[in-house]
């Protein structure tokens, strides 16, 4: 991988907007946080949203991270194959700095305090200073990366594939990149979910592993006993002791399954779907053009909404409003309580599931007073009040 280069652009006006216009909330991982619940209480947002700014890139960006007045997003780099990490002013969208990440089309980031940690498809993990883009450290992981990393409490968790359908889950110091522990896993493509003292990964058929955050020691694992399927992003509801995984084999087909975080036992199953969001006692599952809301405690369906085009992102829930994007670029807003449709938005371009061929997954995000929507034509659109 080529050495990291960074260029920094600053403005006094941008700093003034930062102080005046951003909330203290953060989005540190894909699906907003390390547990991947996809929920946010954002005091700077109400349901009446307008476009506040738009940033343009050479190709489709992935998901936005945001904290401390800055927004971070990976996107294809200018004039050559590969990716770059962009830091923007959260209030205005103005460029702060850009770092070249090399030739891999896949690059996905997570935030840990003052560092942005990025995993690239060729198996490099690197950290940059969030304020300046200056490189802090860089390590080779010894395999391929096809899912975003997750950071929490000074440790970065990243899955490393062996190219043959298996790999390792690695925990590394966010301060130095040093290996803390490594454990074999039976798949590739799962973004680790972290909550409490446990890290979770989920694979084909709903094969799920729970490991001790500090040591990597196995807590429990499940294997529904089939050989096909895809990895999923587990979602942890720590307060209720529940873990939600997709593509789970039940014996009569695939489903979204709710497991006990303590034992891995299946508590309840729901109709198949993509990565869900969990907001309080509601489970929100997208599938094709449908979005369904279920009661987590009883399994009862509360409401369903059908869009005109298939969903391309997992839903996010902000202040009791569900936001989700379709492939055609329509941003639907629904009241989480009853599914009532609110005025939708339209970013004027498709919203893809990935940031270009072989790129990182695309997801909506909310923090710093904005809802962030990546588009297939190379823009990041920030909605606000």
What would the pLDDT profile of 9-36 be if each residue is shown by its tens digit? 322 223 223 333 456 899 999 999 999 9
Whether residue 242 contacts residue 268, with contact meaning beta carbons closer than 8 Å, is answered with no
Is there a domain that residue 1 lies in? no
pLDDT in the model for residue 152: 97
* Residue at 310 is within a domain: yes
Element (H, E) at 256: strand 254-260
Measured distance CA(303)–CA(290) in Å, rounded: 11
Q: Is 34 contained in some domain?
A: yes
| Count of domains observed in the chain | 1
Q: Are 384 and 358 in contact (CB under 8 A)?
A: no
What residue numbers bound the domain in which 261 lies?
A: 6-384
CA gap 42, 349 in Å, rounded: 26
pLDDT of residue 165: 83
370 bridge partner residues: 367
Q: What is the DSSP string of 155-177?
A: EEEEEEE-SSS-EEEEEEETTT-
- Report the distance separating Cα 349 and Cα 48, nearest Å: 21
What stretch of H or E contains 12? helix 12-21
351: domain CATH number is 2.130.10.10
Long-range contacts of 237-241 (CB under 8 A, 24+ apart): 237/35, 237/37, 237/278, 237/296, 238/35, 238/195, 238/196, 240/281, 240/296
CA angle, corner 276, sides to 384 and 56, nearest 5?
Answer: 40
pLDDT tens per residue, range 214-268: 999 999 999 877 766 677 899 999 999 999 998 766 655 568 889 999 999 999 9
CA dihedral for 138, 107, 147, 358, sign (positive or negative): negative
Most confidently modeled range among 131-135, 254-258, 272-276: 131-135
Residue 203 lies in a domain: yes
75 occurs within a structural domain? yes
Residue 32 inside a domain? The answer is: yes
């Amino acid at each position: 991988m080529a050495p990291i280069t960074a260029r920094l652009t600053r403005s006094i006006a941008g700093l003034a907007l930062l102080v005046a216009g951003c909330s203290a909330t953060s989005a540190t991982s894909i699906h907003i946080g390390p547990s991947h619940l996809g929920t946010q209480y954002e005091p700077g947002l109400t349901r009446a949203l307008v476009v506040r700014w738009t940033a343009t890139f050479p190709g489709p960006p992935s998901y936005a991270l945001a904290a401390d007045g800055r927004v971070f997003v990976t996107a294809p780099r200018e004039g050559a194959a590969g990716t770059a990490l962009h830091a923007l002013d959260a209030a205005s969208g103005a460029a702060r700095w850009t770092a070249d990440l090399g030739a891999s089309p896949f690059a996905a980031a997570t935030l840990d305090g003052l560092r942005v940690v990025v995993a690239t498809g060729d198996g490099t993990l690197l950290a940059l200073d969030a304020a300046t883009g200056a490189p802090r450290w860089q390590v080779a992981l010894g395999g391929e990366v096809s899912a975003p990393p997750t950071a929490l409490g000074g440790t970065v968790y990243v899955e490393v594939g062996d190219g043959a359908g298996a790999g390792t889950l690695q925990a590394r110091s966010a301060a130095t990149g040093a290996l803390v522990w490594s454990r074999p896993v039976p798949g590739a493509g799962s973004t680790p979910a972290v909550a409490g003292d446990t890290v979770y990964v989920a694979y084909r058929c709903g094969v799920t592993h729970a490991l001790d955050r500090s040591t990597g020691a196995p807590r429990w694992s499940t294997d529904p006993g089939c050989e096909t399927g895809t990895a999923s992003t587990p979602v942890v509801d720590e307060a209720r002791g529940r873990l939600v995984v997709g593509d789970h084999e039940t014996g009569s087909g695939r489903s979204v399954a709710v497991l006990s975080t303590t034992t891995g036992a299946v508590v309840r199953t729901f109709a198949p779907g993509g990565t869900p969001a969990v907001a309080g006692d509601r489970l929100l599952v997208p599938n094709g053009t449908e979005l369904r809301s279920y009661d987590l405690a009883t399994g009862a369906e509360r409401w369903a909404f059908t869009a005109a085009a298939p969903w391309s992102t997992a839903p996010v829930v902000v202040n009791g409003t569900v936001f989700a994007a379709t492939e055609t670029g329509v941003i639907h807003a629904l009241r989480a309580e009853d599914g009532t449709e609110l005025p939708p938005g339209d970013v004027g371009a498709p919203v893809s599931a990935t940031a270009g061929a072989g790129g990182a997954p695309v997801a909506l995000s909310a923090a710093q007073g904005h809802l962030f929507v990546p588009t297939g034509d190379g823009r990041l659109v920030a909605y606000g009040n």
